[in-house]
Amino acid sequence: MRVKYFRIVFIFAMIAILGIAVFCFFIDYIYNSFRDEVIVSVGNPVYKEFYTSGGFQDYTDFGIYKFKNVDLSSNKYLAPVTKKDKYELLSYISEFEDCVEAIKRNTPENELVVNYDFDESCISEYDYLYIYDKSDYEETYKDHKYAYFNVYFFDSETQTLYFFHNNI
């Protein structure tokens, strides 16, 4: 009789352990699915702000991530800003700001509109940049530059990573 209860307890314990393992795997999968590899490649921010507007398949995001003592010389995403890069960066920021203005016309109290404060005068030759534009990678977007982009700009002087996303 005692062996029978032991088996039942043992089976329930194994089911519980298996359930916990599956739950942990699921949580880890969800966490890793939603993290941004470029931001993670810089390190752990000491401060972050993130603002968004829109919803599924039509949204605009702006993020500010502050770091301490970051060395990006061997970062696999971010590369030093060249003169050509600066013009491209400014074109994306201009497009982004046009979207912020469009949001402002409809909802001036939107958190993104209220908190967007990027100042392009911070761009210098010591900064880093990574631009992901789907028109460079996916056939569907080939003729639609600026339709879906992520821009990561790292200001070396302030150790701040700015994130610009637009998906229209």
Rounded to whole angstroms, how far apart are CA atoms 31 and 21?
15
Residues pairing with 63 in the sheet: 50, 163
What is the rounded average pLDDT of the residues 133-155? 76
For 41-76, the pLDDT digits (tens) are: 999 999 999 999 986 667 899 999 999 999 999 999
Residues pairing with 133 in the sheet: 149
Rounded to whole angstroms, how far apart are CA atoms 50 and 120?
19
What would the two tokens of residue 110 be?
């939107």
Secondary structure of the chain as H, E, C letters = CHHHHHHHHHHHHHHHHHHHHHHHHHHHHHHHHCCCHHHHHHCCCCEEEEEEEEECCEEEEEEEEECCCCCCCCCCCCEECCHHHHHHHHHHHHHHHHHHHHHHHHCCCCHHHHHCCCCHHHCCCCCEEEEEEHHHCCHHHCCCCCCEEEEEEEECCCCEEEEEEEEC
Would you say 126 and 157 are in contact if contact means Cβ atoms under 8 Å apart?
yes
Higher pLDDT, 139 or 155: 155
The confidence band for 142, taking pLDDT boundaries of 50, 70 and 90, is: low
Does residue 36 surpass a pLDDT of 90?
no
Does residue 110 surpass a pLDDT of 90?
yes
